[in-house]
A and B are shown apart, each in its own frame.
Chain A
Amino acid sequence: MNTDELFIIIAPNEGDKLDSLQIWKVRMRRQDVKPDPHGRTLRARLLDKGIAHSFYKEYLWAIPVNGRKVDELNLGEVISENFLKWVGEEVQEINNFTSDELWYPVSIVLLRDAIRYTLQVKLKDQKDFIIHKREVYNKKQIVRSDTYTYVILGVSFDKILRMDDDNVCLCPELVYECYDSLGGVVKDHFERQKNILLASRCSSKTYFERLELMIKNIFTLEPHLSNRTLKFNRIYIQISGKEKIKQTRLEEWL
């Protein structure tokens, strides 16, 4: 008798594949970033303009994530505002976005920016949600509370993996945050950890129900990467089950 009916948390991209991706490359160094009078990071500044970026091998790799194509945005203007010096940008069409060479230093960084931007745009009018980078928390989803603290539920989209050829998937996972009765994040590290640990202890079924609860307000998620639009619509894939077998031929090793 089969005792398993398995499914795995994977949200495959069902939108465009990531081949022939148009991207900007600008010869410059991280050291040439202009300081921001408001103290904002370069990432925050560029994402405000709808641009994701990464530095790799003496180049700034940048891509619009706001649904515009590379030829619809004036990158030079954005660069002039944020960098002390640079050498003219070029548009490249790349077919190795998910290659080993680019994946870790460039592609994941751009994808993370794209997801962060999309979450901000999609949830900007939803007052119950708190967005922290690629994590979304729901203030109304309290999973544990005591006299002075409570823990709310969130979901993280940090885990972005490559899938098949020129494609990616998300592996969303639950995250938690602990607040005090005044609505601030609990500062005491041990108190915070303790409450989060207790809140996160649950069965797989509860975990999955919590994940679905969070995801239903977020999916379908459609991040843009210049001329490509990704589409994340569902969070799991069914797997066929096989029974566990027992070790035989023990004598052989005696």
Chain B
Amino acid sequence: MVIKDERQSSIFTITIKREKVEQIPTLEVPLVFSDKQSVYEYLDPVNGIIKYGPYDINTSDKHLSRKFRGVELFVFYPKNEEIVYKTLNDLIYILREGYFERRGSHDISFRGFENEFRLKFFMPENKEFISYVPGNLRKELESRKNNFTQVFERENRPIVIVGGTSHRSIVKNREQYLESKLQFTNLDLPCQYASYYEYETGGAGILYNALRKNRPLGYSLWNLALNIYGKVGGLAWVIRQGLSKVGQVIDLSIGIRFVPSRVQRGFIIGYLTILDSFGRLVGVVSSPPFKVQVEKEVAGMVVPKEVMENIVLEALKKAGSDVRVKEIFTEKETINIAFHRLSIFHPQEIRGIVSAIDKCHRSGKMKIEYALIPIIDKPPTLVFNKLAENWNALRGTAIRLDDRVAILYTAGTTRTTDRSALSYPITVIAQNLAEENCPFTSLEEVCHHVYSLTNLHWQTVIPGSVRLPATLEFAQNIANLASFKILPKEDSWLWHTLWFV
């Protein structure tokens, strides 16, 4: 659970300047699947992967290229859940052989995991599926540890598909979902939950849909495959984060989110996710539990200076220890960092960040410029486009509210003829814009940066379905799982994967 008031109250800090209210031209950011891809080629994830394959097989960058040969699948299901077993069987078959049915107009084919992601995919026969008694999964895994570790010896990566009747977003049987996440993560194994459920409000799990011939399955399969690829450490696409200053990019984007400790009442834990200039996840750091401060003048909570300083310092060290980032750091005179969080940075938090940066200055030669970018997921208001069929503001629409504040549509329709429901924008605040150490030169540039990071939606192939940039989205996922004590060990290989999506 994310601290609620963070998201609720920060919009009240905004002052709208009426003469400044205008549309900001936004920059459409291409997803990059290959270094050889044309500059003008704008592809959605499905078409990009079909045409080029995932980015990490197409790059000459030794740090970004794929390090494994294939993926080995293990399948688990709860004992006596015959429907889960049966539908898992169907799903695994489709993942191997592909899906070419057209169940309605909004469907898409899938040529099988091996073909689409261009790697070896080892799947068990249905008799090799492993049943377990919910609540006793740990015991079931004890005798199988060797099977998992042997995968690495074959230069492959393991992933577990767990079938079940729950889902992370529903309450029913949630303990099954949490148990599987916890036990497999403890064993350093990425885990993909496949659900057999149906929402009353529409939507259903992939196993539920697999069984029904009238339910489109193509996009669900693509999403599942993309999740699997990310969870074993694959990099499906990247983005470029350019700045108007020639040759300058945002080298690191750091998202900060907080979650209440479930162990110590009244205490908070902070999680920072670090992305490099390509959007690659460099690492995650967390703070020890700390007591939150509340000030009446401030909307939301205040992080103590020392806490902020320590976690930022740790994040910078973590980034510096990454081989590829280290290389870039040594080549550059100035490193540009963007800090994202869900509410305004309080002066004492800023002092903490500055202090951490100063310590880095002293230990290295490079200069660090930093941007403080609160990104509030609750918008102050909505925008309508009268020329669009349903008046929906298009994805990418940005409206300046004053010199440092804009609302930005990161999700929703991409064409004026789309008939989908309205989406809600996010609020982007360039808190230290125009200050000496800020790498951005305009609010437009900040919006481009945030918008580009919403294109790292590695959990779904559907553009415009994730509102927050990857920095905060990833940090939220990790914070949520961590609140249930689901976290890989410090030195786990999972930290180089999207184990949390």
Contact = CB atoms under 8 A, between A and B. Distances in A.
Contacts of B422: 202-204, 207
A17 to B, nearest CB: 13
Contacts of B17: 163-164
Interface residues of B, number: 60
B23 A6 contact: yes
Nearest to B278: A253
B203 to A, nearest CB: 11
B14 interface: yes
B390 A204 contact: yes
Contacts of B383: 6-9, 239
Nearest to A197: B201
Interface string A3-19: 11111111010000000
B41 to A, nearest CB: 9
A242 B396 CA distance: 11
Contact of A241 (B9, B11, B23, B296): B23
A199 to B, nearest CB: 11
A194 interface: yes
Contacts of B171: 190
A206 B249 CA distance: 41
A4 B27 CA distance: 15
B11 A245 contact: no
- Residue in A98, A247, A254 with the greatest tally of chain B CB atoms within 10 Å: A247
Nearest to B171: A190
A205 B413 CA distance: 13
Interface stretch (A38-46, A69-77, A102-110, A123-131): A102-110
Contacts of A205: 384, 390-391
A244 B13 CA distance: 28
B15 A204 contact: no
A171 B384 contact: no
Interface in A151-168: 159-164
A8 B399 contact: yes
Given A108-B12, A239-B399, A247-B242, A163 B30 contact: no
B392 interface: yes
B297 A6 contact: no
Given A201-B421, A208-B391, A246-B40, A163 B26 contact: no
Query: How many A residues touch the partner, as a band?
Result: 35 or more
Interface string B368-403: 000000000000111111111011111011010000
B16 interface: yes
Contacts of A56: 296
A203 B392 contact: yes
**Dominant secondary structure at the B interface:** loop
A8 B391 CA distance: 12
B456 to A, nearest CB: 15
Nearest to A207: B422
A198 interface: yes
Contacts of A5: 385-387
Contacts of B15: 98, 161-164
B444 to A, nearest CB: 10
Contacts of B14: 161-162
B298 interface: yes
Interface string B256-291: 000000000000000000000100000000000000
Contacts of A101: 297
B432 to A, nearest CB: 16
Contact of A4 (B298, B397, B420): B397
Given A105-B297, A159-B381, A204-B391, A244 B25 contact: yes
Nearest to B23: A242
Nearest to B296: A105
B22 interface: yes
Given A203-B421, A244-B26, A6 B384 contact: yes
27 contacts: A4-B23, A4-B394, A5-B385, A6-B383, A6-B397, A6-B399, A9-B383, A9-B384, A10-B16, A103-B13, A104-B299, A108-B12, A159-B381, A163-B16, A173-B382, A194-B200, A203-B422, A204-B384, A204-B422, A205-B390, A205-B391, A208-B391, A242-B23, A244-B26, A245-B26, A246-B28, A247-B240
A-B residue pairs, 5 tightest by C-beta: A203-B390, A253-B240, A205-B391, A204-B391, A171-B381
Given A205-B384, A244-B26, 4 more contacts: A8-B21, A197-B201, A202-B421, A204-B391
